[in-house]
């Protein structure tokens, strides 16, 4: 099938003008030179008062919450292209998932996911998927303690490499 596609007038790379109007498409990155790409995403998991402290000192009802969540986040980052339709499969060089208590808030667990690769496109979505699934896994591992545990925020914190260069969120929480 030989169909000519043009990038949409809005400059959105995953939309093109086709025979039936605007159509979604996977961008061809085959001609792009591979470069080092790295990104960090974060999520905040809020617990009811005292529940996070209890989980961190006594353990969760299903076992070691951060180790299970770390594994889930790494696996999810590696499978991003199978979950997000326009993402390219990437050979990730590293995926790290880290946890820490929230910026002075004893009831918040911060989840960070960092990924890097040498490739033709960025790893932002891989980090977001990794952090999001790790946060959801924390909830799954602790939901028996309270139905009020919630992911408050999931966002990109920083990126390096590619045409857009480096970017850092205004605050890293």
Q: Is residue 19 part of a domain?
A: no
What gap in Å lies between CA 41 and CA 124, rounded to an integer?
A: 7
Q: What is the pLDDT of residue 110?
A: 98
Q: Is residue 7 part of a domain?
A: no
Q: Is residue 127 part of a domain?
A: yes
Residue ranges with strand state E in the chain: 6-7, 15-18, 21-24, 35-46, 94-102, 105-119, 150-160, 167-168
Q: Is residue 6 part of a domain?
A: no
Which residues participate in catalysis according to the annotation?
Answer: 140
Average pLDDT over the chain, rounded to whole? 89
Tokens 């920083």 sit at which residue? 158
Q: What is the pLDDT of residue 1?
A: 38
Q: How many domains does the chain have?
A: 1
Q: What is the pLDDT of residue 22?
A: 74
Q: Is residue 112 part of a domain?
A: yes
The enclosing domain of 162 has a CATH number of: 3.30.70.640
Q: Is residue 155 part of a domain?
A: yes
Q: Is residue 20 part of a domain?
A: no
Q: Pick the residue with more confidence: 32 or 114?
A: 114
What gap in Å lies between CA 108 and CA 152, rounded to an integer?
A: 9
pLDDT digits (tens, 9 = 90+) for 54-95: 999 888 888 899 999 999 999 999 999 999 999 999 999 999
**pTM assigned to the model:** 0.86
Give which of 127, 145, 146 is closest to 135, Cα–Cα. Answer: 127
Task: For residue 125, give its domain range.
Answer: 30-168
**Reported confidence tier of residue 8, pLDDT bands at 50, 70, 90:** very low
Q: Is residue 48 part of a domain?
A: yes
């Amino acid at each position: 099938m030989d169909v000519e596609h043009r990038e949409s007038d809005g400059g959105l790379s995953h939309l093109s003008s086709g025979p039936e109007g605007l159509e979604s498409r996977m961008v061809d990155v085959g001609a792009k030179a591979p470069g080092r790409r790295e990104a960090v995403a974060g999520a905040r998991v809020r617990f009811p008062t005292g529940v996070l402290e209890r989980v961190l000192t006594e353990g969760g009802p299903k076992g070691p919450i951060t180790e299970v969540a770390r594994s889930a986040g790494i696996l999810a980052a590696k499978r991003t292209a199978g979950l997000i339709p326009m993402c390219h499969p990437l050979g990730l060089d590293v995926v790290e998932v880290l946890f820490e208590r929230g910026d002075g808030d004893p009831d918040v667990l911060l989840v960070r996911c960092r990924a890097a690769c040498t490739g033709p496109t960025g790893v932002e979505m891989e980090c977001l998927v990794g952090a999001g699934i790790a946060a959801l896994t924390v909830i799954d591992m602790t939901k028996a303690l309270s139905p009020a545990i919630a992911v408050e925020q999931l966002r990109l914190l920083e990126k390096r490499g590619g045409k857009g260069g480096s970017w850092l969120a205004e605050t890293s929480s």
